[in-house]
Structures are given as structure tokens and as C-alpha cells.
Structure 1
Amino acid sequence: MKKKILIYNWIPFDETEGKGGGVTVYTKNLIKYLAEHTDWEIFFLSSGRAYDRKCRRTYIEQTTNIFGKNCRSYQIVNSPVLSSAHLSFAYPEDMLEDRVLKKVVGEFFAVWGGFDIVHFQNFEGLSLSVLELKEKYPKTRFIYSLHNYYMFCPQVMLWRNDRESCTLRRCGRACISCMPRDVHKRKVIYNQQINYELAVAGRVSPLRKELQNVLEGTCKAYDKYQSGKMWTGVKKRLARNFQIFRERNVWHLNQYMDVILAVSGRVAEIAVNYGVDAGKVAVSYIGTEAAANQKGYGYYPYNGAVFYLCYLGYMRKMKGFYFLLDALEHMPAELAGKIGVKLAAPATDKEAEKRIKNLKKKFAQVIYYPGYTHEELPEILEHVQLGIMPSLWEDNLPQVAIEMKAQGIPVLTSSLGGAKELTRSEKFVFKAGDREAFIERVAFFVRNPERLEEYWRQAPRLMSMQEHVEELKTFYMGK
């Protein structure tokens, strides 16, 4: 008998604007593999992005997708919960108290006679009431993949005030300081209504566009007037709702999920520390198409001339980009003269670009790529001896670290997040945020390049999509 699986993510897997990051890519790859290698009926559902001004009720509609008949895709229209989490941050009560989504998703279940498996890639765009459907469909396997920390942190990344990794045991008043102050629910919904109208009708009336500009200007004026201040009553309400946010989320995960899949051992550890039932947590490293051509050894051995380091990512503090710039600026000239640096990150900070240019004064070579595509990776990584992942937050399992490893580049990572699990050698880990520890570790490999091979001797192979899906099936079937 064919299995029937419903896969949920807040954003369509075939969106073309790069939103949703690696989870969107993973979801697409998972659906693609299931469609090509199983006879299962595959359904996909998204929520929190489509809003229809002509109909106020919440409903589900079918959408088109790149896999055609091989995957039936749907979206929830007029969801009471906005997505992504950034847009719903200031409205935790929507997720905690809504009952409409349980009814609407429940009707969707009934139309299709239920599902054998429901695999949540995220929970943004849904309310907790949806999980209560497990009571009506006890034989349906509810699976949740911990790609991020949304169920523990309304900011998603456990990254406090764009300054430090958050280790607070409880949500509450402290969450307010992280909350974006320029997100207005009415404005967001109006903008999404226009996007929806464009997608359906191909055009929007000039008056609607003019009203959009007026609303945008009004919200900016209000933000300027408020200047970050908040009414005491609003602050108390938010603090109370944030306080119960993590508590209720964890309770619902423990109560209704059959399996909670952590994408790294570190993510599993964090989940259990926040109260998730350890008996329901399993580590499941994601499958990647890059594994098909993984090298499994250092592809560019050091030739005794220039020792190349490479950073791939974004100009963001949490990613460790500015930490890396600072460390490179403080690196002793004698060491820097032996090193070439490749930095690939979208150009979003003119001052950072100036700092990169100044590095050329003491490093053997500095090459900056203002952004990159997947197809350009082989060229960027050419001649690189060591990749750098200096994350300052608990990055679940960064895709760029997987990509570098697949290309035969060992990766030096910070002590935070899951990237350090790509090898068991502790030589390739430094204390997060410790500039001297980072410089010392780089110096060690420059002076002892033969020790780079330790990375590969203690590195588990990357998991292919085939291996990953076979593992997923054991969770799907409850074996």
C-alpha cells in the first residue's frame, strides 16, 4: 500500500528569491528524491505568506510546483500566524492561542483521508493547535526536524541582541530587547495581499500601490515617534507571552511528536537542555547532493608557498565575519606573510570592504568575492588548504561547511554549533570568540601542514540523499 506523506515548511520549496535558506533547499531535495525513488503520494503545505483581501476566512488552496503531478502542493491563505518568525516575533499570542488553523488543517486531513506521515521542517506560520490533530490521527507519524531553534526562541537563532549566543533558561522580558520594532502586522498583511494579487491577477491597481506607500510612510513616522519605546502594558503582556512561549512549545513537542530529529549532536543537546524528551530525540544529519562527489581527502595539499584560508558566508556578526576580520587584522605580520585569504560574502558593508582591502598590506594575497553561486565554489576553493567557520552562535549545521568538506577542504570551526561534528579531531576547533585561540590554531597548521590530514582520518563521510532517506524511513515507519 502506498504511503502518504505531508511535508510542511513555511515557504514553498521552489521559491526563487533564496528565502528560507538551506532548509528550503533541503526540503526540495527531499521531495525530489522521494518523487524519483518511491511510489509514495507526496503532499506539501506552506503557511503565513499568502493573504487574500477578497476573502477574510482562512483556507487552503492548491498551488503549482516544479515537480508537477509528482507532488501535490498547497498553501494556507490568510493564516493567523505570519511567517517567517521575524514577522511573527511581536505576536506570540497568535501561535499560542489560535484555534482556526487546527480546524482548517484538520479539514485538509479529512479530505485526503489522513496521512501516514507528517514531516514538519519548520513550525513557523502554524499555531500549536495544529499538533492536537495527533489526538484524532494517532496512527499518523508526526516528525519534527530541528533545523533551527524556533520552538525555544522566538528570534529563531538563540542570538541575543545581535551580540552574543543566548543561554537564558527562560523566555520573557529579555526577549523584548531582541524583538524587531519595525514590523507592523497590518502593514505586513497588506504587502502580502498585494503580492498575492500580483501572483493571481498579474497586476494591482495604482490606488492600491499608492495606499501601500502611504501605509509604509505612516509606519516609518510612527517608529520614529516611538523611538524604540514601548507602553508598559504592552511590555508586560509580551513578557508574559514570551515567558510561556518556550514552555508550551516544548510541552507540545513532547506530547504530540513521535520523533524529533536534530540535524547535529549539538542541536540535540540544546533541545534536551530546554526540556525536550531525550527519548524522542534522534540525531539525523541531513543528506546532501554534494556527498555524491565528496573527495574524502585534502584536495589541495600545501605546496610550501602560500597557505590559503577561505571564508564563505555573509557579512554578519553572528556568522563570525567581523570576528574573523578582527583576528586577521591582529595576526602577526610574520605569520600573515605566509597566508593567502579568500573571502566570499555579499557586499553589504562598505566599511568592511575597506578593511578587507587593507589586509592586502600584510597578507601574501587577499581575494574578495562579493557574493557567489554554487557553481562558482570550485573556482573559489581552488588551492585552499583550510576553510574557516568562526560562528558566534549555535549554527545548527551550516551548509557551507558541508560544501567545503565535500570539495576536499578541511574546516576549522568555532566551538559553537554543529559544524565541529564534521570531524572528530579537536585540532580543528577553537573557542568561539577567542581571537588568540584562533590565531594560534591557524599558526599551528601553517607550521605543520601535514597535520591537516588528521581532519580526514577522523571525519565521518557526508550522508547522501539516498542514505539519508533510508534512515528517515526508519523514523517514518516507527522502526
Structure 2
Amino acid sequence: MRILLTVHHFPPRYSAGAELYTMRLARELLRRGCEVEVVCVETLDPDQAFGLRAERDRYEGIPVWRLHLGLRDAPAHWSYANPAIEAWLSERMRVWQPDIMHLHSGYLIGVGALTAAREQGIISVVTLHDYWFLCPRITLLRGDGSLCHQPPADLAECAWCLQLDQRRYRLPEQISGGLAGKAWIALAGHAGRAALRERRETLRQALSQADLVISPSHFLASLFSDLLAPEQLRVLRIGIDHSRLSSIRPVQAGPILRLGYIGQIAPHKGIHLLIMALKSLPRGEPTVELTIFGNTGQHPTYTRHLRQLIGDNPHIHLAGKFSHDQLPEVLSKVDVVVVPSLWYENSPLSILEAHAAGRPVITARLGGMAELVRDNVDGLHFTPNDRRDLARQLQRLRSEKGLLERLQQGIQPPPSIDDEMKMLIQHYTALLERRASIRGQSQ
């Protein structure tokens, strides 16, 4: 079986959830005898004329095509329907002839992957890692940091949300209590409304033509249930390599409670919330320490903000970037993993990996996070974006005797990577058999 995996970015330069998942998927497919190629966007150059340059690479045994995009004089819709990427993918599919094109997220690669596959008669599969097909901000987080509970009917509201990234719009909105946005929508919203309507229609049409859409969580699947036929949409849980994590020693109550944040260092991940919650705890025993593991260079402004929040606190540490091979060592250094995200996380690997290592998780009562963590069973929930409620749960771990051990005992191992791959390959095989049957009937 020949599989073309398309994703916005890929390691080693990028290491967020979708990138790491795609790398792991490529490895597992290769290990099972499939032929695999990965296509990703490596660089964006606003000064280079619109177009792309493809660079062939091999990363940890995985064949990778890295696309370098020039964006000078790019069409307005380049971020979701890039004709240069579509043309390159169409040619690559014609030459390599994959059996299946598997798109991850859609961001940057765009709908051209689906369009090219359809034109070449190649089966297309999409795994939803975020809300790119629904939200131009990808996260369903508004520009003012609040959650968007559902995409608004009036797309001018989405256009105003995008404007809030800029301080000159955000401040008037805050000062006026929302009146600035209403005025902008009434006076200037028509242009943004038209552009986003085109985006929405283009993305929904492309997604509706995918042969299979996979969601790692029921929460994310529920947001797409009205856009897809029931037979198109499947929930497939992410599996974990238990062999790397199951041997980590169990946690034991002691004089220090070791908290860990593991993942991307970015504003929507809510790390600032965790720091403020920890700093608000009263003095007492056990001492609570927090180690933040992640790439501090990806969002330098936010990292500077975190350093200012930490100040001279000796119990909070920015450990920096680590390789995925070091994950067992990282998890062995913490008793509890905290996932304080402000947005609707889909199916965080950090939660699954923590549970595979026998580590309870404290997380926001939100989206796929709440789905993976059972409150008071294998972890604790706190009210989203509420540092006081997060501090309350941290204090419970300090003061309630036996709580940490009880939460650890309540952990059920997440699905294994073999379980996931078995189901995925069954889906691949069923799609190929159905395609062969249709072709046989038409002859």
C-alpha cells in the first residue's frame, strides 16, 4: 500500500501535535511494509515571488518533500487554496501514484491536496487535528482570547475577530465593551464577510468530497456531524507506544509535588494560567514545583511574558525543548501533568502519554481534554481559563491525603498504537476494496 501523507509542518523544525502524530504515523506505516512519503510546508517567504520550491529530504528514515513557499503577490486565498501547492501535488501524485492521500489538518497545505487527489482518482482521507475547516483562526479562540462556542452565522463577526489580533482594534473593543466591533461590522464588514464566505464554501465543499474523515475525539466529530454524511465520519482514538512508557516508576507522595507541563509554548496553551495558579498557593507542605518542557523559541514574546511571571520563583523552571525520544525521562521527573489549554483541545498527546506513564492529569473542563480525563478518577478538572479554580485543584493534591495515589490507581491505559494502526489500516483497506468494486462494476 502506498500512502502520501500531507501536513502543514514536519519535524525537526516543527514539533506540535499534528506534526509529531504524522511522523509517528509515517514510521508505523513503514514498519508495516507500506510505502510512505510526507509532504509538508517548511518555509514561508513574503519577499519571494509567489510559487514554491520542493526539496527532497529523508528524516529518520522517512522520505519527506519540504515545500518552500514564496508569498509575494500571492492570491488572496493562498492560505487555504494555494494553486502552486495543488499543481505540485497533482504532478507528484501522477508520478508516484499513491493508493491513498491522507491529509492532516489542512492548514497551509490547503484544499489543493483533496482537489488533486480527486482529479487523479486517488482515495482521500482527512484527519481532523483542529478546527481549520471551521475557523480561520484554527483554534475557535477569538482575537480577545475568549472562546467561540460555534462559528457565527454572520461571517462579518469572524472578520472582526481576525482584526482583534491588532492592538489598534483590540483596545477600542475592550474600552467600548464590544460596541467598536458592532460598528465595524455595520460599516466595513461586507468585504470580510464576502472573503470568509468564499473560504467557508471552498473548504466545506472540499471536505465533503473526502472519502473518509477521521476525528480523534467525539467532541471534534460532533462539530462536523452536520457537514458530513454519517458514513464519511469516524472517531479513531490515538494510540500510544506503551513499551516506552509503562516501565516508568509509579509516583509516590513525598515532600515535593512535581508538576509538569509538556508541549507547545504558546498563548493558547494557557501556561501563564498555570504559573499564576501555582504562585497563588499558600505556603505549606508539600512544596509544589513546576517544570515547563517545550520549545521556548517558537513564540519568543510569550516566553518573555512567562519569564516575567515566573520572576525569581525558585520552584518554577523553564526546561526548554526536548526530543520525543526523551519523553520517558521527562515523564519520570513529574508526578502530575497539567494541561491548562484555553482552547478546545482535540485529543492531546500529552494526556494520553501521561496516562500511559501512570501520571494523573489536571486539565480544563473543555473539549477533548475533558473527554480524556475522568474528573476525580484519573485526574482533576478545573473551570476553563480560571486560575483560581486551577489553584483550588492544585491545593487539593497537597492537602487531601491519598488523593494522588487514588488518581494514579484510577488510570486506565489508553489504546495502544497497534490498536490504532489496526483500525486505520482496516479503514484504508475497506476504501481500496470499495473503490475496486465500483471500478469493476463500471467495466
| TM-score, normalised via structure 1 length | 0.70
Task: Choose between structure 1 and 2: higher strand proportion.
Answer: 2
- Tell me how far 1:145 sits from its aligned partner: 0.8
Identify if the C-alpha distance between structure 1 residues 55 and 447 changes in structure 2 by more than 3 Å, giving closer, same or farther: closer
Within a 5 Å distance, the mapping from 1:405-416 to structure 2 comes to 405-416=355-366
Is this contact kept in 1: 2:252–2:405, CA < 8 A? no
The aligned length equals: 405
Aligned residue for 1:387, secondary structure, equals strand
CA drift of 1:144 comes to 0.5
Structure 1 range deviating more: 42-51 or 403-412: 42-51
1:31-46 matches, cutoff 5 A: 31-38=26-33, 40-46=34-40
What is the letter of the counterpart of residue 471 of structure 1?
M
Q: Which structure's relative contact order is higher, taking Cα pairs within 8 Å and 6+ residues apart?
A: 1
Please state if 1:437 is matched with 2:389. Answer: yes
Find the counterpart in structure 2 of residue 245 from structure 1.
199
Task: Indicate whether 1:118 and 2:101 are aligned.
Answer: yes
Partner of 2:145: 163
Which of 71, 93, 96 is equivalent to 1:109? 93
| 1:96 shift after superposition | 6.3
Q: Distance in 2 between matches of 1:440 and 1:52?
A: 46
Cα displacement (A) at 1:443: 3.2
Task: Select which of 250, 261, 275 maps to 2:214.
Answer: 261
Query: Is contact 1:401–1:411 with CA below 8 Å preserved after alignment?
Result: yes
Shift of residue 117, structure 1, vs aligned partner = 1.0
Structure 1 residues 436 and 342, CA gap change in structure 2 (3 angstroms): closer
Between the aligned partners of 1:381 and 1:443, the Cα distance in structure 2 is 21
Local SS of the residue matching 1:123? coil
On the 8 A contact 1:92/1:242 being kept in 2, the answer is: no
- C-alpha distance in 2, partners of 1:316/1:101? 28
Letter in 2 for 1:242: L
Tell me the CA shift for residue 403 of structure 1: 3.6
Q: Distance in 1 between matches of 2:91 and 2:38?
A: 15
What RMSD, in angstroms, separates the aligned Cα atoms of the two structures?
Answer: 4.0
Whole-Å separation in 2 of the counterparts to 1:321 and 1:130: 34
> How many angstroms apart in 1 are the aligned matches of 2:113 and 2:321?
39
Distance 1:80 1:470, change over 3 A: farther
- Contact 1:405–1:411 (CA<8 Å) still a contact in 2? yes
Q: Confirm or deny: 8 A CA contact 1:423 1:458 kept in the other structure.
A: no
Match of residue 10 from structure 1: 8
2:286 partner letter: K
Q: Aligned equivalents of 2:265 and 2:45: distance in 1?
A: 32
Q: Give me the TM-score of the superposition, normalised by structure 2.
A: 0.75
Q: Tell me by how many angstroms 1:123 deviates.
A: 1.8
Residue aligning to 1:339: 287
Tell me the equivalent position of 1:131: 114
Q: Deviations over 1:296-318 (max 9, x none)?
A: 89711214x33333333455442
Give, in whole Å, the separation in 2 of the partners of 1:52 and 1:372: 28
Report what 1:204 is aligned to.
none
CA contact (8 A) 1:424 1:455 kept: no
Note closer, same or farther for the CA distance 1:234–1:471 as it changes in structure 2 (3 Å cut).
Answer: same
Q: Which residue of 2 aligns with 1:306?
A: 256
- The corresponding residue for 2:131 is 149
- CA–CA distance in structure 1, aligned partners of residues 80 and 49 of structure 2: 24
Counterpart of 2:402 in 1: which secondary structure? helix
Equivalent residue, structure 2, for 1:373 = 322
Structure 2: give runs of 5+ residues left out of the alignment. Answer: 167-183, 432-443
Aligned letter for 2:368? G
Is the contact made by 1:422 and 1:459 (CA closer than 8 Å) also made in structure 2? Answer: no
CA distance in 2, matches of 1:118, 1:358: 50
**Seq. identity, %:** 20
Q: 1:268 to 1:452 in 2, by over 3 A?
A: farther
Partner of 1:196: none
